[in-house]
Amino acid sequence: MALPVVAIVGRANVGKSTLFNRIVGERISIVEDIPGVTRDRLYAQADWNGQNFLLIDTGGIELADADEVANLIRVQAELAIDEAQVIIFLVDGRSGLTSSDHEVARMLRKSGKPVVLGVNKIDHPNHLAAVYDFYELGFDEPIGISSEHGHGTGDLLDAVVRQLPRTDEDTYDEDVIKIALIGRPNVGKSSLVNALLGNQRVMVSPVAGTTRDAVDSPLEMDGQRFVLIDTAGIRRRGKVYERIEKYSVLRALRAIERADVVFVVLDGESGIAEQDKKIAGYAVEAGRAVGIVVNKWDAVEKDDKTSQRFIEEIHEQFPFMRWAPIQFVSAITGQRVHKILPLAMEVANNHAMRISTSTLNTVIEEATTSVTPPSDKGVRLRIYYATQVGTKPPVFVLFVNRSELMHFSYQRYIENQLRKSFELTGTPIRIVARNRSS
């Protein structure tokens, strides 16, 4: 199910990041009273009264400012507007209506998207009169809020949720494995889809960002049905867009939500970039089955240790997913592309694995016997019992005497023992320590 998208948009320093953190419930966005602090879009999943959505925090739009950084911030905001189903237009009730607000309002009206107008920094009932000035912008009733203190944010979110489209489940059968190919622009995602399909189903171009819309491509192998989700780029609107790769994150997020298996596509020729690690982290956080596909391997000058060196670099750069299988391929020559779908089947099965309680507890008992659990102030961690409570990904609950004694390093040790004992390649696992009394 693809979540609807809500973007917070407005000129600089009106409190967008503070509102973002208020809605998400975590201090994800950097908040500082200096215009332009938020330079990249930030994304997080949020919910209000049972309605889930993706929330985007954008940099401030300063249309009249030709400064390069301000221009990049404006472009990022435009990209967010492109993706959003509903836009929160945030203005500053303390400083009042400005010409920049009018400029942003014209830009939003041109987008044709539903707009909810929030007047921020209404920290006291005496400030409510300031809200009425913003009727001049021509949107529905302005909603006075204080993102710092939380006043009025519920009313704002009620208005947002009323405008959101209803989300429908994908219509694919449960036995269909949905595969998302995610990665930076121009790593060859569309070429891989075409190589798997055997035809020119998805437009391919050496120019980054030529895939505008996410494309679902069904196929079948050995009786197993798949759907390939090619994550889209964005339409090009001038040279400034060529410099921005951050837009790939949102499309990757939306594809990850729909997928059973996620393949992080790396460019074997240009190597690993910071953006690769960021979008891979989203897939792991979402609990999806994950594999790594190194594309363009035909273009790499090789000796007998090249692939091993690249694997070691992947493990160094992606320490949080050393369990992910790695496949070296070339979409252009077709080299090893035929191994991708069997790998997807393997990790999908591991992702859905269910382990019997008796077998699980035998492994846990052997693990605690081999390495004694940690202790603190004379009290040692005791694991009484373990059970699996979920799949996709596998989730295990360990009933213990004191959950605070479950040190991260020992939990990682338990995870490693589970991986040694069971075929869990390609899937994250969750381990939860719970006090037995609870």
| Residue where one domain finishes, among candidates 330, 351, 372 | 351
- The C-alpha torsion from 32 through 33 and 35 to 39, rounded to 10°, is 10
Alpha carbons 432 and 104: distance in angstroms, whole number: 46
Model confidence band, residue 199 (pLDDT cutoffs 50, 70, 90): low
Q: For residues 14 and 112, state if they share a domain.
A: yes
168 lies in a domain?
no
| Residue where one domain finishes, among candidates 137, 163, 189 | 163
| 3-class secondary structure, 174 | coil
Buried b (16+ CB within 10 A) or exposed e, 297-311: bbebeeeeeebeebe
Q: How many domains does the chain have?
A: 3
Instruction: Reply yes or no on whether the pLDDT at 252 is more than 90.
Output: no
pLDDT digits (tens, 9 = 90+) for 124-159: 877 788 899 999 999 989 999 999 888 999 999 999
pLDDT digits (tens, 9 = 90+) for 359-408: 999 999 999 999 999 999 899 999 999 999 999 999 999 999 999 999 99
Per-residue pLDDT, 379: 93
CB within 8 Å of 119: residues ≥ 6 apart: 91, 92, 93, 130, 131, 134, 142, 143, 144, 145
Q: Is the peptide bond before 319 cis (omega within 30 degrees of 0)?
A: no
pLDDT digits (tens, 9 = 90+) for 167-176: 555 567 888 9
For residue 291, list its beta bridge partners. Answer: 263
Q: For residues 345 and 239, state if they share a domain.
A: yes
Q: For residues 142 and 59, state if they share a domain.
A: yes
| 3-class secondary structure, 347 | helix
Q: For residues 310 and 379, state if they share a domain.
A: no
* Minimum mean pLDDT range among 225-229, 350-354, 421-425: 225-229
pLDDT digits (tens, 9 = 90+) for 78-117: 766 777 899 999 999 988 998 888 888 888 888 889 999 9
The token pair that represents 9 in the structure block: 């948009």
76 lies in a domain?
yes
Instruction: Reply yes or no on whether the pLDDT at 248 is more than 80.
Output: no
344 lies in a domain?
yes
Q: For residues 138 and 19, state if they share a domain.
A: yes
The token pair that represents 219 in the structure block: 């196929």
**Residue 25 · residue 103 · CB < 8 Å:** no
Q: For residues 329 and 233, state if they share a domain.
A: yes
| Residue where one domain finishes, among candidates 132, 163, 194 | 163
Q: For residues 188 and 309, state if they share a domain.
A: yes
44 lies in a domain?
yes
Q: For residues 22 and 74, state if they share a domain.
A: yes
112 lies in a domain?
yes
CATH of the domain at 208: 3.40.50.300
Helix and strand numbers (H, E) in the chain are: 12, 17
Q: For residues 215 and 302, state if they share a domain.
A: yes
pLDDT digits (tens, 9 = 90+) for 220-231: 888 999 988 866
Q: What domain range includes position 71?
A: 5-163
365 lies in a domain?
yes
pLDDT mean across residues, the chain: 83
CB within 8 Å of 89: residues ≥ 6 apart: 9, 10, 104, 105, 108, 115, 116, 117, 118, 137, 139
42 lies in a domain?
yes
Per-residue pLDDT, 215: 57
Q: For residues 98 and 230, state if they share a domain.
A: no
Instruction: Enumerate the known binding-site residues.
Output: 10-17, 57-61, 120-123, 183-190, 230-234, 295-298
Q: For residues 316 and 335, state if they share a domain.
A: yes
Per-residue pLDDT, 106: 86
170 lies in a domain?
no
Q: For residues 154 and 217, state if they share a domain.
A: no
**Residue 156 · residue 143 · CB < 8 Å:** yes
CATH of the domain at 402: 3.30.300.20
Q: State how beta strands 326-328 and 375-376 pair.
A: unpaired
**191 to 207, 327, 329: CA distances (angstroms):** 13, 16, 11
> Phi/psi of residue 149, each to 5°?
-100, -10
Alpha carbons 298 and 321: distance in angstroms, whole number: 25
Instruction: Enumerate the known binding-site residues for GTP.
Output: 10-17, 57-61, 120-123, 183-190, 230-234, 295-298
